[in-house]
Amino acid sequence: MAAVEAENLCKSFGSVTALDNLTFSVENGEIFGLVGPDGAGKTTALRILCGLMAPTSGKAMVLGRDATREPEMIKAQVGYMAQPARLYEDLTVQENITFYADLYEVPRKHYRERMERLLEFSGLAPFTGRLFRNLSGGMKQKVGLSCSLIHTPKVLFLDEPTNGVDPVSRRDFWKILHELGKERVTMVVASTYLDEADRCHRVAFLDKGKARMVMEPLALRSLLKAPLFNLASSDRRKALSRLKTLPDVRRPYLFGTGIHFFLTDPAYVAALKENLVSEGLKDVVVEQIRPSLEDVYLSLLEERGGEP
């Protein structure tokens, strides 16, 4: 039996459709990513699975129970971390965790040992007496995670846990999640960062309330059959404009400091460089690259009529 199941979930807010027959399942101990842009339906899906919101139609099952009909039955077995971590600004780190332990009715003799382990685990032990409002963004997220874990949940729902967090704190946060994975905690992580999909066992690409693909990250990359290239030039805008006119170049788009594009024939690279240089472009460098999951997502969107 899957730990989490979403079956044809639909949710409408008036004329706005947030979820449109969303379907996926998460196995026990799996880190499952819900990845997509703002407005894709990630938060709505998590809130329904936590029993915080009823769907318009469809079914949400968590640990074999209906999250809509039996929300109180799953409360003690799931943890939910909203974005941003909504904790009490005027309480200390320890006081916030203690409050959540009491909220979940965790016996004091049990949660003190658990709290000490979480504080050590997350690197928060030296900051137990610091007010929540005086913490950095990354530390606030770690406190939020500790509060979500104090009652030892079997399933953890995380809504964009690293949004707005610096790269070092993002890396540390994911280290914590993978350590939790060793304890067989099932995690559903919503994120707008497509690079974080690589840290998941499987990922669902959400777009307009639908799961466009549900696959392992490596398998998702295999969907791109044409070779992907990156072009660097002193004038990216001019290079992009020129690439769009060349018949053998497919779907060029700005990516980071370069331009990504597909070629119908990899042997065309030398001629492509000559063409760009003849147009007055300087410092042109073209190389074949391994697709990122962002490349996969943008390609899928364009194939379905979305905007890259």
| Shared-domain flag, residues 20 and 161 | yes
The reply to whether 78 and 120 lie within a common domain is yes
Which structural domain range is residue 179 located in? 4-221
How large is the greatest C-alpha to C-alpha distance in the chain, in angstroms? 76
Question: How does residue 207 score in pLDDT terms, banded at 50, 70 and 90?
Answer: confident
Do 142 and 192 share a structural domain?
Answer: yes
- pLDDT value for 247: 86
Structural domain total, the chain: 2
91 and 160 together in one domain: yes
Boundary-marking domain end, from 171, 190, 221? 221
Q: Output the domain CATH number for residue 254.
A: 3.30.70
Let me know whether 104 and 237 are in one domain: no
Do 156 and 235 lie in one domain? The reply is no
> Residue 21 maps to which CATH number?
3.40.50.300
Is residue 302 a part of any domain in this protein? no
Among the residue ranges 74-78, 216-220, 296-300, the one predicted with the least confidence is 296-300
Whole-number pLDDT of residue 303: 66
Q: Are residues 211 and 276 in the same domain?
A: no
Q: What is the pLDDT of residue 308?
A: 41
Q: Among residues of the chain, what percentage have pLDDT more than 70?
A: 97
Residue 173 pLDDT > 80, yes or no? yes
Domain boundary among 187, 205, 221: 221
Quick one: 283 and 152 in the same domain?
A: no
Q: Is residue 301 part of a domain?
A: no
What's the pLDDT tens digit per position in 77-130?
Answer: 999 998 777 799 999 999 999 999 998 888 887 778 888 888 888 889 999 999
- Give the mean pLDDT of 211-238: 88
At 90, phi and psi to the nearest 5?
A: -95, 5
- The model's confidence at residue 305, banded by pLDDT at 50, 70 and 90, is low
Out of 16-25, 79-88, 138-147, 199-208, which region has the weakest mean confidence (pLDDT)?
Answer: 79-88
Cα separation of 308 and 212, whole Å? 15
| Same-domain status, 29 and 178 | yes
**Ramachandran category for residue 299: left, alpha or beta (phi over 0 → left; psi -120 to 50 → alpha):** alpha
What pLDDT score does 122 carry?
85
Domain membership of residue 64 (yes or no) is: yes
Q: Give pLDDT, residue 19.
A: 96
Residue 46 covered by a domain: yes
In a domain, 306, yes or no: no
Upper half-sphere CA count for residue 201 (Cβ side, 13 Å)? 16
Return the pLDDT at 307: 45
Q: What is the rounded average pLDDT of the residues 211-228?
A: 85
pTM here is: 0.82
Domain boundary among 221, 247, 281: 221
> Which residues are CB-neighbours of 112 under 8 A, at least 6 positions away?
none
Are the C-beta atoms of 121 and 176 separated by less than 8 Å? yes
Q: Is a pLDDT exceeding 50 seen at residue 148?
A: yes
Q: What is the pLDDT of residues 18-50, one digit of tens each?
A: 999 999 999 999 999 999 888 999 999 999 999
CA separation, residue 152 to residues 6, 101, 180, 280 (Å): 23, 10, 11, 62
